Structure 1
Amino acid sequence: MRILHTMIRVGDLDRSINFYTRVLGMKLLSRNDFPGGEFTLAFVGYEDGGAEIELTYNYGVTQYEQGNAFGHIAVEVDDAAAACDRVRELGGKVTREAGPMKHGTTVIAFVEDPDGYKIEFIQKR
C-alpha cells in the first residue's frame, strides 16, 4: 500500500492551481470536469511520483469552513528560508518564518494557500 493523494476543497480552482504550480512548483497532473456531479477535480504534485493533492471544486461554492481536525500538508525543501522568500515574492502568505521547530532542531516554516490551508516546509537535513 501507499498513499495516493489528499483531497482538499477549494473555492476558486484556477487560483488554487496557480498557487500550487507557480508558487510551490508542482505540476498540474490532470484536470477533469464532472458536470453531472457539479464538480471539477484537479491533481497537482511533484514529478517524483509521490503523493498528490486533489483540488476539488464544487460548482458555486466559493468558501469552506476548515474545521479544526485538518492540520497541514508537508513539503520537503532544500532551504526553508529561501522557500519562504519565493512564496512572498510570488504574493503568497508566510505564517511562520523558517527556524528550528519547538523542542527540536529540524528547520520548518509554514505558508498558507489561497483557501487558508497550511503548508509546512521541512528543510532537508
Structure 2
Amino acid sequence: MEETIDDLLGRLDEFCGITEAIRSDTSEILDETIPLIKDKVMEMNHIYAKVDKLEAFVKMVAHHVSFLEEQVLEAEKSHGTFLNTVCKLFQCATISSFKNRHPLSAARPYDLPKLYRTEDFFPMNYVGTKYQKN
C-alpha cells in the first residue's frame, strides 16, 4: 500500500509541476506576448487605413482618366470628321501639311475640367517622399 501511495504522490507532484508550468506559460503570454500582439494590431490598422485611402485614390484617378479619355476620343472623332470633309472637298489631294493645321472656325476653346492635385493627397513633406522634411 505504501508503494501505491508513494507512486500516487509522485504522479501528483508531476501533475502539480505540469500545472505550474502551464500557469507560468499562461502568465508569460498574458503579460508579454499579448501586449506585443496588440501593438502589432494597432500598427496594422494604420497600414490598413493607408491602403484603404490609396485604393480610394486609385479609384478616383481611374475615374478622371476615363473621363479624360472620353474627351480625347470625342475630340479625335470631331477632328477626324472635319478632316474627312476637307478631304472630300479637295478630292483627297496630298494635304498632309494642311492636316496639321486647324482652322480657326473649327477650333473651340477647351476648358480643362477640375482635376485632382496629387499634392493634396501626398503632401511634399509626406513620409516616404524624397522631399520629406526631417
Q: TM-score, normalised by structure 1?
A: 0.20
Bigger relative contact order, structure 1 or 2 (CA pairs below 8 A, ≥6 apart): 1
Larger helix proportion of the pair: 2
**Which structure has the greater CA radius of gyration?**
2
Q: What TM-score comes out, normalization by structure 2 length?
A: 0.19
